[in-house]
Amino acid sequence: MGPRPLLLVPLGCLALLLPPGAAEFSPSLDSDFTFTLPAGRKECFYQPMRKEASLELEYQVLDGAGLDVDFHLLSPKGETLVFDERKSDGVHTVETEDGDYMFCFDNTFSTISEKVIFFELILDNMGEDGQDEEDWKKYVTGTDLLDMKLEDILESINSVKARLSKSVQIQTLLRAFEARDRNIQESNFDRVNFWSMVNLGVMVVVSAVQVYMLKSLFEDKRKSRT
């Protein structure tokens, strides 16, 4: 199946703090969303980040004329970190500080075509792994009798977790590529059918004109005498 659709739920107090067209995501290590951006509209989103963490954002335009969109990424201070103009996809990674990072998708340059946009957020060093390690250390007592230390087990588990997360990320991107390619193929299929019907109509008209012209050449136009 394709990426999960984005569901924006208005929050009473939050709506008073954020500008129109903005939403805030709860902290998550890996999240992906798909939404429709109408023509002439701009949608912005906020992501809270911690100091010395990492924010990776990947986006793709899955459907819409031109398969392009403007993308902005702003720091908590309002500084423009990334600006992509009329691009179909992009991958950006930034080292973060405390605050809310804003990223926007701008389709105001288009007056007719809406765009279907998929994007994925990957957050690293958000502090949760460190907390897990502290929880594990509470049980590191008498481990000298064990052949494998709990730290080694934890390292192995984290390695497996990282590999699984990377696999899920790659599968999500492959689904997004497949959705965009399918939309392009369906669009090409409709164009081929349309122009095939146009060519067929032209051939029928030309054939009818040719038959009429040939018949007119062999008609006896002389008037019979009475």
What tens digit of pLDDT does each residue of 92-117 get?
Answer: 999 999 999 999 999 999 989 999 99
Q: Which of 36-40, 68-72, 83-87, 159-163 has the lowest mean pLDDT?
A: 159-163
Residue partners of 183: CB distance under 8 A and separation at least 6: 62, 63, 116
- pTM for the whole structure: 0.57
Residues 120 and 212 in one domain: no
Please say whether the beta carbons of 44 and 104 come within 8 A: yes
Among candidate residues 127, 162, 188, the one where a domain is terminated: 127
Taking residues 176-199, report their average pLDDT.
84
Q: What is the span of the domain harbouring residue 178?
A: 152-220
In the beta sheet, which residues pair with residue 74?
A: 80, 102
Position 11 scores a pLDDT of: 32
> For the domain that residue 99 is a member of, what is the CATH number?
2.60.120.680
Query: Which pair of tokens denotes residue 110?
Result: 């288009």
* 20-68 pLDDT tens trace: 445 444 445 788 888 999 999 999 999 999 988 999 999 999 888 888 9
pLDDT class of 74 with cuts at 50, 70, 90: very high
Residue appearing with tokens 């790659």: 170
| 86 and 156 inside one domain | no
Structure tokens at 196: 């095939």
Domain boundary among 127, 142, 174: 127
Query: Which pLDDT score is estimated for 135?
Result: 56
- 31 and 115 in one domain? yes
Phi and psi, residue 144, nearest 5°: -65, -25
Domain annotation covers residue 140: no
Look at residue 9 and tell me if it is in a domain.
no
